[in-house]
Structures are given as structure tokens and as C-alpha cells.
Amino acid sequence: MDFDDTREEAEFRAEARAWLEAHTTLRQPDDAPEPGMGDEASQDLVARAKDWQGIKADSGWACITWPEEFGGRGASAIQNVIWNQEEGRYRTPPNIFTIGQGMLGPTIMAHGSPTQKERYLKKMLRGEEVWCQLFSEPSAGSDLAGLRTRAVRDGDDWIVNGQKIWTTGAHYSDYGMLLTRTDPGAPKHAGITYFIVDMSSPGIDIRPIRQINGATGFNEVFFSDVRIPDGNRVGAENDGWRGAITTLMNERAAIGGGGAGLGIKELIQLLRTTPYGDGVALDDDGIRQKLADFHARSTGLQYTGYRTLTALSRGQTPGPESSIGKLVGAPLRQEMAAFALEVLGAAGTITGGDLAMEHGAWQRMYLTMPGLRLAGGTDEILRNIIAERVLGLPAEVRVDKDKPFSEIPH
């Protein structure tokens, strides 16, 4: 494990830091929601996020790992980590572009037509057009290949009917990447087709869902006879699972190890200032014991992260340790938030106004982490992946894998 930047990495970090230092006029108020999980429904937040993205794009700091032909700077994975670390030091507007730029853009690059790449990627990079991911359905989440939204060919168009759910940002998105069932007679992975859909198309009905953290970050999206031109098909007919895999591989990397926000340092600070008995919470032996447990786990996670960084820095592909980040990080942060609220006692119930500790950030984290434990692969699915692909344990029984989709009971 190597903790230091190489000379090139240090130079890159200094360049990034200098640019950020000169362009931080767009800091947002301290009570802004957690990136990706907050109430991005607010038009003000969307506008500020677009402004910030445009400023970055003008200076070549948007989507830095993208190839230069699509507006990126062909940066390495380690440079991207450095950039994210540096940008993370500033309170920039929530990143509403992660799904497009981190997951869907790479899918278009890998499977899209030259016309699609030309038409969509540069505007995606600049944040001029926002994208959403129309994959999950009420009965197809972990088992995504069980999706039932139908697309039927009609001349040069496809006609789509069905329902998607948990679609983050559908309410402020211009385009979506959509998975549909096009051949119900084929086994479930083999009859799926991938499309780009204009979210303003007639027949699309977007209904926001309120989450337990109070935000309306995601939606139900209904399709009633929605027409999509065949030119918007990504990849071959019935070969959409290939594109879906590309999106999902990029999703794990984009969601990463638990997101920004409060950590062990902030918890210690809270315990140091919270009255408890005759002193402050940090004086209490029981509390210190719990803190030591959190500290051990956070440190384990931090060093596991360094192993990933070391691999990236040496130009290697990170090993299985990179899949542990979300599985350990999200529950840990949920537990730390629950503990903070317990120590705060009655004050822990105050989420807004001047009286709320840290502007209600601990409360928001407590109510946001359960969602992160589901999004992009639930804890159980991540454990299955580690069991099967890392530890080599026997695979789950999958009885419907080779059956025609239309014969699978539902």
C-alpha cells in the first residue's frame, strides 16, 4: 500500500486545487441536502448544479476520464479519484449528473451509434441535458432481467407500455435510458432491448415518490403507448442486456463507498460538544467504547479504500476489496447516525431551524442511508456477489434462467 501521491499525482492535485480555489463562488448553504439523495426537485438546486457543471466544462474539469473526442481530458482513474477528493472539499451543488455521466454516458460510448454519440454526449458532459435510468420495475429490481415493460415494433418506431419505479431525477431529466422486453418468447436475459427516450414524449407520466428523508428524489414513471424512433435503440434488438451490464458495472463504481457527508471526525466533534451527565458525551466510558468500535470499522474501510487507490495508481484494476465499500460503509454510517441521535436525546428530534445540530445533517444521514443500502445492489445482493465471484462459493439456484420469459410464473 502506498499512501503518498507520486510526483505527477501531486502536480495534478495542485492544479485541481488551484482551479477549485479560484472558482468556488457557487458554494451552497450548509443545510443543503446530501448529494444524490436530497430534494433535487428544487428548481433552484437544478439550476445551480447546471451552472457549476458548465463552469467545470468550460475549463476542462467536467467528466475528466472521458476521451477528448467527447469533451473529456482522458484522465486516468487515479486522477479522477484525486479530482473527486479535491472537489469534495468544497460545498458544490449536488451532483445531479452522476447517473448520466457516470453510468449512461459510458454505455452510449460502448454500445451507441456514431449519431447517438455525436448528438448526446457533449450536452450530457456540459450538464445541458440531464439523464435518468429507467431500469427498475415494481417486480424487477434485484432480478432486473425479469422486467416486463413491453416495446413492440411499429414501422420505424417502437411502442412502449409499462411501468418503471424508483427512477431518480425523472422529474428534472430530459432523457432516460430505458430497458424493455421485446421478445417474451426468449429466455429472460435474451429478449431485452435498450433505448434512449425523450422524457417529454407524449404518454409518459411521472409521479414523484416521497422518501423517508422527506425528499422526492425518485419517481414512478408510467408509459402508455409511448413512441420511440428505432434510431434511439442502443445496440441490437433483443441484445439490451449487454448494454445493461455496462451500465450496472459503471453504477457500482459511480455509487462507490457510501458517498460524502458526516464521518467519524464529525461524530467525535459532536460528542465533544454534547452535554452528558456532569460533562460532555465524550467523557463517558460506554460512549467511548462505542466510538472505538466505529473508529476501528471506519479505519478498516479507509485502508481498504487505500488498497483500491494503490491499485489504480499503479494502473491495475482494483480487486474484490472495491466491492466492500458500499456493503460496509452504508450500514456503518447508518449506525453512526443512529448513535448520534441517541446521544443527542430529545435534541435529536429537531431537524430544522436554528436549534437543529449541524443543520439536521445527522437526522438526514439516518434517514438517507437505508436507501443507499438498496440502490445499486442491496446488501444481500452484494453478499451474493462476494460469495460467488470472490469466495467461489456455489452459485444461487436460478431455475428460470433458460426458460422462455413468457413461461415464468409471476
Ligand X SMILES: Cc1cc2nc3c(=O)[nH]c(=O)nc-3n(C[C@H](O)[C@H](O)[C@H](O)COP(=O)(O)OP(=O)(O)OC[C@H]3O[C@@H](n4cnc5c(N)ncnc54)[C@H](O)[C@@H]3O)c2cc1C
Residue 289 vs residues 5, 120, 150, 284: alpha-carbon distances, Å: 34, 53, 55, 9
Stretch that binds ligand X, among 3-11, 23-31, 132-140, 262-270 (CB under 6 A): 132-140
Among 154, 380, 388, 407, binds ligand X (CB under 6 A): 380
Stretch that binds ligand X, among 26-34, 241-249, 294-302, 373-381 (CB under 6 A): 373-381
Least separation in angstroms between residue 68's CB and ligand X is 29
Does residue 166 bind ligand X (CB under 6 A)?
A: yes
Stretch that binds ligand X, among 118-126, 166-174, 238-246, 353-361 (CB under 6 A): 166-174
Least separation in angstroms between residue 304's CB and ligand X is 22
Residue with the shortest CB distance to ligand X: 141
On whether the CB atoms of residues 23 and 59 are closer than 8 A, the answer is yes
Residue recorded with cell 457543471: 53
On whether the CB atoms of residues 247 and 131 are closer than 8 A, the answer is no
Q: Which listed residue (8, 87, 251, 342) is catalytic?
A: 251
Report how far residue 276's alpha carbon sits from residue 57's, in angstroms, rounded to the nearest whole number: 49
Does residue 135 bind ligand X (CB under 6 A)?
A: yes
Report how far residue 120's alpha carbon sits from residue 98's, in angstroms, rounded to the nearest whole number: 15
Does residue 375 bind ligand X (CB under 6 A)?
A: yes
Report how far residue 220's alpha carbon sits from residue 209's, in angstroms, rounded to the nearest whole number: 7
Considering only residues 60 to 119 of the shown chain, the ones binding ligand X according to CB under 6 A are 99
Stretch that binds ligand X, among 146-154, 269-277, 343-351, 369-377 (CB under 6 A): 369-377
Stretch that binds ligand X, among 59-67, 68-76, 275-283, 368-376 (CB under 6 A): 368-376
Best CA proximity match to 227, nearest among 206, 197, 207, 183: 197
Least separation in angstroms between residue 43's CB and ligand X is 20
Least separation in angstroms between residue 112's CB and ligand X is 19
324-344 helix and 361-372 helix, angle to the nearest 10 degrees = 150
Among 79, 107, 136, 334, binds ligand X (CB under 6 A): 136
Best CA proximity match to 241, nearest among 106, 144, 128, 136: 144
Considering only residues 187 to 246 of the shown chain, the ones binding ligand X according to CB under 6 A are 218
Q: Which amino acid is at 401?
A: K
Does residue 374 bind ligand X (CB under 6 A)?
A: yes
Residues in Cβ contact with 361 at an 8 Å cutoff, skipping those fewer than 6 apart: 34, 261, 262
Among 33, 93, 360, 371, binds ligand X (CB under 6 A): 371
Burial class (CB in 10 A: 0-12, 13-18, 19+), 409: exposed
Quick one: 49 or 267, whose CB is closer to ligand X?
49
Does residue 168 bind ligand X (CB under 6 A)?
A: yes
Query: Residue 144 has what DSSP assignment?
Result: G
> Catalytic annotation on 266?
no
Does residue 257 bind ligand X (CB under 6 A)?
A: no
Among 378, 387, 404, 408, binds ligand X (CB under 6 A): 378
Among 6, 85, 115, 142, binds ligand X (CB under 6 A): 142
77-87 helix and 285-313 helix, angle to the nearest 10 degrees = 140
Does residue 141 bind ligand X (CB under 6 A)?
A: yes
Does residue 149 bind ligand X (CB under 6 A)?
A: no
Report how far residue 401's alpha carbon sits from residue 403's, in angstroms, rounded to the nearest whole number: 6
On whether the CB atoms of residues 193 and 159 are closer than 8 A, the answer is no
On whether the CB atoms of residues 234 and 112 are closer than 8 A, the answer is yes
- The set of cell numbers assigned to 18 is 488551484
- Which residues are designated catalytic? 251
Q: Site residues (CB under 6 A) for ligand X?
A: 99, 132-133, 135-136, 141-142, 166-168, 218, 371, 374-375, 378, 380-381, 384, 396
